[in-house]
Chain A
Amino acid sequence: MVRAFRPQHRSKGNVMTHADTATPRPRRRMRNRILLGILLVAMVGLKTNLTVVDETERAAVFFFGDPVRNLDEPGVYLTPFWQTVTVMDNRYRLYDSNPSEIITADKKTVVTDDFTLWRIGDPTKFIQAVGTPASALKRIDDDVFSQLRRSFGARNYEDIVVNDREAIIATVTDRAGRTLATISIDVAMVLTNRVELPPENKQAVYTRMSAERLQQAQQYRSEGEAARCTESSVTFFNAIPGGNLFRRFFYTKPLTLGVFLVL
């Protein structure tokens, strides 16, 4: 482009010799304009006939709806303007579902919240079977949740929470992955980021935890009371005749002793 305009530039320096340059000027201007036009057309042509596929992307090429090929590697591809190219982000995407209640085999209810990491497998098949990433979410939700419900429903609460969660989740990933692979959704992992009890059950757990702790507290208090009673009963009953008999009786019954002392 720069070279194309150099003659123009030179001609400006020779303004004095107007007569010399007067004859070639229109022809040069013509040539320049043609060159410029070709360049512009070439640029627009390149733009419409080339596809750049990024490291994070994959693309599918169609000819009036007829699949031509996939562009599976990053780089520049020659795609004539009559072909339609759909470029899609091929990175792992997050599908974070809403929490939902599932009933386990032993008829307990757990609230689970799961998420799925997935990406587009074969772009052509994906476009044909699913369409857009947004519509893929619905399919993922259907399949993953039904597998999750099936796997959790077949196992006991203890297995889900304590013993075997990894294996259960692996099964869900495997099964949902196999189904979704047929529509070119590539599932990397399904994980439950939360497994909880429903609010009503939580309240019961709180109450039980409280009761457990209060019982522990009561034990400590009684032990302390016992230590104090042993001491006070010794002093108190040693002072009165026949006190040993009373002491043996009251030793194990601090409360009775308390009442006795108050009286």
Chain B
Amino acid sequence: MTFRDNHTKPDEGFEGIEQKILSEWPKYLLRAVLALGLIFAVLNSWYTVDKDEEATVRRFGAHIATTGPGLHFMIPFVDKVQNTSVTTVHRIEIGFRTTSVEDNTPQYAASSEEAEMLTADDNIANIDFVVQYRSSDAAKWQFSVMDPEKTLNLMAQAAMRLIIGRSDFDRAATIGKAEIQDEVRDVLQAYSDSVETGAQIVSVQLQDVQPPAPVIEAFKDVVTAREERETLVQVANRHANRVLPQARGEAAQITNSANAYSSERVAEAMGDVARFNEVLVKYQASPEVTAQRLIFETQEKVLRGQTIVVDPSEGGLLKFFNIDGSGIPTATQK
């Protein structure tokens, strides 16, 4: 190297370069620093905002603009840019945590301290719910509250406890869910707006309204008992269904035969009446003869087939024994 240098530049040797570097090193260092600074400045003179984001630009600390998605320019070192995702919906889980997702099935862990709430009818309910929100105003989200996520979490708990405290357990567990969700969302939005978190509450969803763990067994027992009652009622109904048509048939049969008997009797009676009228006509024509005849006819009818003893003398009961060999008197006639 020295050899070639000697040929091309006779008056400057290796020692000359060394001397030059030694004497002018601040110049080279400054140039290097300046070049690096320039590169750094150029690299810092633009920023990108992603499709779901908004960015706030602060010039000397003061908020001067909020920009949407795209490529934007800025003054390096002076402007400060902070991106916030404004369209993404974030979740806050209260009363439970999603611990992991295995085979597309989320696994949950309960957090009973958060979940236990007093209801208006002095009961305790375990309530799991999810708050969905968007940090829709990037500037407020960044500049207003120090820890907006934690703040929203605590506010959501306060709002839910306020509303649950006003409603009965049964209402919260069953028909009142939709109403409670809406009320809590409105209250939470109001809380959030009062300190300008910039959050927009999308929804509050009750996941699970359960009795506390020690009471669950009793609640399940009620359901079991209700089912048992239904079973017994069904069994009774089945029996009724078996017995009732049979009984109805029997009733119809009885009614029919009664009707038949009734018409038979009526016909018979009508016949009797006709016959009596016939006799009446004869009686009116010759009353004595007819009366005598009626007496004879009746005696004939009544006395036929009877053992008749005619005893003109006054006597005791004794002489009637064993007349027909039975020892028991069958009829007495005076």
Contacts and interface: CB of A to CB of B under 8 A. Distances in A.
B31 A5 contact: yes
B144 interface: yes
A55 B154 contact: no
B63 interface: yes
Interface in B190-241: 191, 194-195, 211-212, 214-215, 217-219, 221-222, 224-226, 228-233, 235-236, 239-240
B123 interface: yes
A231 B155 contact: no
Given A91-B144, A92-B144, A209-B215, A8 B27 contact: yes
B60 A193 contact: no
A84 B63 CA distance: 25
B116 interface: yes
B214 A206 contact: yes
Interface stretch (A144-152, A159-167, A244-252, A255-263): A159-167
B211 A209 contact: yes
A61 B19 CA distance: 52
B127 interface: no
A42 interface: no
Interface stretch (B99-107, B157-165, B172-180, B267-275): B157-165
Q: How large, as a class, is the contact surface on chain A?
A: 35 or more
A224 to B, nearest CB: 3
A224 B34 contact: no
B124 A205 contact: yes
B118 interface: yes
Interface string B131-164: 0000000000011111100110011011001100
A205 B123 contact: yes
A192 B117 CA distance: 12
Nearest to B213: A206
B145 A216 contact: no
B116 A196 contact: yes
Contacts of B155: 191, 193
Interface in B39-70: 56, 58, 60-63
A216 B120 CA distance: 20
B230 A195 contact: no
A218 B119 CA distance: 24
B251 interface: no
B122 interface: yes
B195 A188 contact: yes
A5 B26 CA distance: 12
A197 to B, nearest CB: 7
B195 A210 contact: no
B142 A56 contact: yes
A7 B50 CA distance: 45
B308 interface: no
A194 interface: yes
B232 A224 contact: yes
B310 interface: no
Contact of A213 (B144, B154, B191, B219): B219
B218 A195 contact: no
B191 to A, nearest CB: 7
A166 B190 CA distance: 13
Contact of A195 (B118, B219, B221): B118
Contact of B225 (A74, A165, A202, A218): A218
B72 interface: no
B230 A224 contact: yes
Contact of B224 (A192, A217, A223): A217
Contact of B218 (A205, A217, A221): A217
B156 to A, nearest CB: 9
A234 B244 CA distance: 12
A107 interface: no
A55 B143 contact: yes
A171 interface: no
Interface string A202-237: 110110011111101111110111011011001100
The 4 closest A-B pairs by CB, nearest first: A224-B229, A224-B232, A217-B225, A213-B218
Interface of B: 27, 30-31, 34, 56, 58, 60-63, 80, 113, 116, 118, 120, 122-124, 142-147, 150-151, 154-155, 157-158, 161-162, 165-166, 191, 194-195, 211-212, 214-215, 217-219, 221-222, 224-226, 228-233, 235-236, 239-240, 243
Given A115-B154, A191-B154, A213-B219, 4 more contacts: A93-B147, A166-B162, A205-B123, A209-B123
